[in-house]
């Protein structure tokens, strides 16, 4: 099977590489010539664990190639996936479909015979039909089908998520398209992955509903965390206590500084906008958006309180990316929290294992080589992202480097009693503050 993947970002590159590993012949296209040149030279432009291995193996096997020219990639393809960005449109939060529409036009001009054109980008309900119209207008005689195939992978575990998804969702209207999509995902049948065929509208909505539901779960537990702090309860016990109920499930119940990333923030905004436009506003999603926005600021204020004011203080910040195992800084809580602390007069010494390159473009802080360098001479430390390497820091060394043994852990990666015993004042989320016991 020959596949063209338009857009070689987090989703396009992972999907293209994994589909080539399934045995298909895949051409990944990107309009950014530098990105394509890097990929051709074997350099991966993003950080995603094990993506380099999958790309290298399949490039070597001749199943995965890179192109800037859509026409070359699309010629003879059985399926053409659109995996370009759909950022928030400025002003109203609607998904900006400029890139999707532009890709559709380019595909229309380039197709040489029947293919299924698949929207893999997260797109509002109705987009697949819009794309179909764009292609039909430019090529009235062309034989093609449209399908919607949203992607559910997470950054940081994208390869596993793609290889072993909970489900694959495909929206399409014809048996011919269904046949091709079944063939694309055939290796997953071996793992008995459910493949759900729906209408295009249902498929498009499933993606937004899934992201909005997960964002709601996070926002819910974050509000429970606030209650926990007032009443002396422990949010981790509460998460476990409700999560063990099979109807609720324990995942996505980690309280923290609010969700970030390239998808939950923009997709909740887009769903809110779609619902408003349809005259069926979704008050739950509206609340999720506003609670999450205020949470990032509330966390910055929590840090300020823990320091008893930050003016003139030096703060070590560990973790800048929106989650661990990625270099992605899009909508990261750090982008709200760090500037807030700086405005209040703090000096920030930060470290992130993979995010430093992106962070350098987005914030003006002292970027350190490791956690201990950030801690050296600081008045306290804040953990913003739960990278594994922050989970087992050497307490004695930290205490010796810090001016004051103060830790604000917005990801709850340490236990309050353990921190108290190590001599720290320890402020976390949804749990009582621990005072040093020695």
Q: Catalytic residue positions?
A: 263
Q: How many angstroms separate the Cα of 312 from the Cα of each of 49, 132, 164, 315, 379?
A: 38, 58, 49, 10, 10
Question: Is 84 near ligand NAD (CB under 6 A)?
Answer: yes
From 153, 169, 350, 375, residue interacting with ligand NAD (rule: CB under 6 A): 153
**CA neighbor of 21 nearest in space, from 188, 179, 168, 153:** 188
**Shortest separation between residue 125's beta carbon and ligand UGA, angstroms:** 16
Question: Is 372 near ligand UGA (CB under 6 A)?
Answer: no
Do the beta carbons of residue 6 and residue 103 sit within 8 Å? yes
Is the CB of 151 or the CB of 204 nearer to ligand NAD? 151
372: Cα separation from own chain's centroid: 28
Q: Are strands 380-383 and 64-67 parallel, antiparallel or unpaired?
A: unpaired
**CA neighbor of 177 nearest in space, from 151, 152, 200, 150:** 200
In this structure, the dihedral spanned by the alpha carbons of residues 70, 195, 268 and 7, taken in order and rounded to 10 degrees, is -10
- Cα separation, 44 vs 409, in Å, equals 32
Question: Is 214 near ligand UGA (CB under 6 A)?
Answer: yes
Question: Is 208 near ligand UGA (CB under 6 A)?
Answer: no
- Cα separation, 416 vs 386, in Å, equals 16
**Shortest separation between residue 278's beta carbon and ligand UGA, angstroms:** 21
Question: Is 6 near ligand NAD (CB under 6 A)?
Answer: yes
What residues contact 51, with CB distance under 8 A and at least 6 apart?
Answer: 13, 14, 17, 44, 158, 159
The piece of 44-52, 97-105, 149-157, 387-395 that touches ligand UGA (CB under 6 A) is 149-157
Question: Is 7 near ligand NAD (CB under 6 A)?
Answer: yes
Token reading at 241: 């206590």
Token reading at 129: 């039909």
Interaction partner, residue 323 (ligand NAD, ligand UGA, none; CB < 5-8 Å by kind): ligand UGA
The piece of 151-159, 194-202, 219-227, 277-285 that touches ligand NAD (CB under 6 A) is 151-159
- Measured between its terminal Cα atoms, the distance across the chain in Å is 66
Footprint (CB under 6 A) of ligand NAD, residues 85-114: 85-86, 99, 102-103, 106
Site string for ligand NAD, 226-265 (x = CB under 6 A): ------------------------------------xx--
Question: Is 178 near ligand NAD (CB under 6 A)?
Answer: no
Interaction partner, residue 184 (ligand UGA, ligand NAD, none; CB < 5-8 Å by kind): none
Read off φ and ψ for residue 125, nearest 5 degrees.
-55, 130
**Shortest separation between residue 357's beta carbon and ligand UGA, angstroms:** 18
From 144, 264, 390, 424, residue interacting with ligand UGA (rule: CB under 6 A): 264
Read off φ and ψ for residue 329, nearest 5 degrees.
-110, 5
DSSP 278-326: TT---HHHHHHHHHHHHHHHHHHHHHHHHHT--TT-EEEEE--SSSTT-
Q: Is 283 exposed, middle or buried (0-12, 13-18, 19+ CB in 10 A)?
A: exposed
Site string for ligand NAD, 37-76 (x = CB under 6 A): ----------------------------------------
Is the CB of 125 or the CB of 218 nearer to ligand UGA? 218
Interaction partner, residue 355 (ligand NAD, ligand UGA, none; CB < 5-8 Å by kind): none
Residues that bind ligand NAD (CB under 6 A): 6-12, 29-32, 35, 83-86, 99, 102-103, 106, 121-122, 151, 153, 155, 262-263
Residues that bind ligand UGA (CB under 6 A): 122, 151-155, 211, 214, 218, 252-254, 256, 259-264, 322-323
């Amino acid at each position: 099977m020959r596949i063209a993947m338009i857009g070689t970002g987090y989703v396009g590159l992972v999907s293209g590489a994994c589909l080539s590993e399934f045995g298909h012949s895949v051409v990944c296209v990107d309009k950014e010539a530098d990105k394509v040149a890097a990929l051709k030279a074997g350099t991966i432009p993003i950080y995603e664990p094990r993506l380099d291995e999958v790309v290298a193996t399949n490039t070597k096997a001749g199943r995965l190639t890179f192109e800037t020219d859509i026409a070359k990639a699309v010629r003879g393809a059985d399926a053409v996936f659109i995996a370009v960005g759909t950022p928030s449109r400025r002003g109203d939060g609607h998904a900006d479909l400029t890139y999707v529409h532009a890709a559709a036009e380019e595909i229309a001009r380039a197709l040489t015979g029947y293919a299924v054109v698949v929207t893999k980008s997260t797109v509002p309900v109705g987009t697949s039909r819009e794309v179909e119209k764009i292609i039909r207008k430019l090529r009235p005689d062309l034989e093609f089908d449209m399908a919607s195939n949203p992607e559910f992978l997470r950054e940081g575990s994208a390869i596993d998520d793609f290889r072993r998804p909970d489900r694959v969702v495909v929206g399409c209207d014809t048996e011919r398209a269904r046949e091709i999509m079944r063939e694309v995902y055939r290796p997953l049948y071996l793992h008995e992955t459910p493949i759900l065929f729906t209408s295009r509208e249902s498929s498009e909505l499933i993606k937004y509903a899934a992201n909005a539901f997960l964002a709601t779960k996070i926002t819910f537990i974050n509000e429970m965390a606030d209650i926990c702090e007032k009443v002396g309860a422990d949010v981790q016990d509460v998460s476990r206590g409700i999560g063990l109920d099979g109807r609720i499930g324990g995942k996505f119940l980690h309280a923290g500084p609010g969700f970030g990333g390239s998808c939950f923030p923009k997709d909740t905004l887009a769903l809110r906008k779609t619902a408003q436009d349809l005259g069926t506003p979704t008050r739950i999603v509206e609340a999720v958006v506003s609670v999450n926005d205020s949470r990032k600021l509330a966390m910055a204020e929590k840090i300020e309180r823990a320091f008893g004011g930050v003016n003139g203080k030096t703060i070590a910040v560990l973790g800048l990316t929106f989650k661990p195992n990625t270099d992605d800084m899009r909508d990261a809580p750090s982008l709200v929290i760090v500037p807030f602390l700086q405005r209040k007069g703090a000096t920030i010494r930060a470290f992130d294992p993979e995010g430093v390159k992106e962070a350098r473009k987005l914030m003006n802080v002292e970027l350190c080589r490791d956690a201990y360098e950030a801690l050296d001479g600081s008045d306290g430390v804040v953990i913003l992202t739960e990278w594994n390497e922050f989970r087992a820091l050497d307490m004695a060394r930290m205490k010796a480097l810090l001016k004051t043994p103060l830790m604000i852990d917005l990801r709850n990666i340490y236990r309050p009693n353990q921190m108290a015993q190590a001599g720290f004042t320890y402020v976390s989320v949804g749990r009582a503050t621990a005072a040093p016991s020695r």
